[in-house]
Amino acid sequence: MKNIGFIGLGIMGRPMAMNLIRAGYSLIVHDINPEPVKDLCRAGAKEGKSSQDVASRSEVIITMLPNSPEVMDVVLGENGVIHGAKQGSVLIDMSSIAPLVSKEVSEELKKGGITMLDAPVSGGEPKAIEGTLAIMVGGPQETFDKISDILHVMGASVRLVGEIGSGNTAKLANQIIVALNIAAMGEAMVLATRAGVDPEQVYQAIRGGLAGSAVLDAKMPLVLDGNFKPGFRIELHIKDLMNALDTARELGVPVFLSSQVMEIMQSLKTDGKSKDDHGGIIQFYEKLAKVKVRRNTSK
């Protein structure tokens, strides 16, 4: 399958689409923001006038959108994918949305002979640029097998988790673990700094032990530099945790720690930090402890 439509060219979608172009795929792209469309067209893509237009010219349609309402609108709304996609085409929704919405959208597409996979990603902008995202997929095995080569261009880890909605369930689990890891890092490093110990030395001392993690290695160096430029914004993690909390309520699952981290993120949003990287969760603890966790530049 060579004709790919790509809708949603934000901080993640743009580099993902660029990697597909570099891999030799023919892309038709669309976004409400004209700038990334122009960039990708300069790289060899073609512009789609609407989601419907993109779908009508593609065998595989990829969507990378902010949340459930946007996916519903782009796929099922006026001028949406459903009105242009041909029977036998595949929609890969790589947005992070509520699993129940994935199932609902899939059921509507089935009526027109269109198969859907939900395939949210983890790794943020750096891994989107590198093409090394972790991609969690839900949907039919047969469809996954047909398009897995496409996903492997964008991801280093691509795994079919189960039926439709399973990809987003896995992503919710991922986002809970990431949020709690970052919050734990914040508590620990503020404690160490307040005690007068160099946080960089603490980081180096613990990273090879049981406390070490991909989250710690990705976020701690940025924190030490005071760099909260977004790779994944706090406001987007709030969205993901909201979906996790809503899903947990529907299933009757306790999520005490996730609820606490959500309150921390909401506090940061109130402080005007919602567009900071989620590594900036540490700023909540820094503010209360009146200390900054930063690299010692006097050495």
Task: Find the angle CA(41)-CA(43)-CA(44) to the nearest 5 degrees.
Answer: 65
| Amino acid 124: pLDDT | 87
Is this prediction's pTM over 0.85? yes
Place of tokens 């902008």: 125
CATH of domain 3-163: 3.40.50.720
pLDDT of residue 174: 95
Res 298: pLDDT = 73
Nearest partner of 220 among 192, 245, 194, judged by Cα = 192
CATH topology of domain 169-289: N-(1-d-carboxylethyl)-l-norvaline Dehydrogenase; domain 2 (1.10.1040)
Name the amino acid, one letter, at 187: E
One DSSP character per residue, 143-174 reads: HHHHHHHHHHHHEEEEEEEESTTHHHHHHHHH
Listed by start position, the domains of the chain span 3-163, 169-289
pLDDT at 240: 94
**For residues 62-77, b (16+ Cβ closer than 10 Å) or e, as one string?**
bbbbebbebbbebbbb
Helix, strand, coil percentages in the chain from 3-state DSSP, rounded to 5 = 55, 15, 30
Integer angstrom CA distances of residue 114 from 7, 55, 117, 157: 17, 11, 10, 25
Mean pLDDT by 10 residues, the chain (299 residues): 89 97 97 97 98 98 96 97 97 96 98 98 93 98 98 98 98 97 98 98 98 96 96 93 95 97 98 97 98 87
Q: What residues act catalytically? A: 171
What are φ and ψ of residue 157, in 5° steps? -125, 115
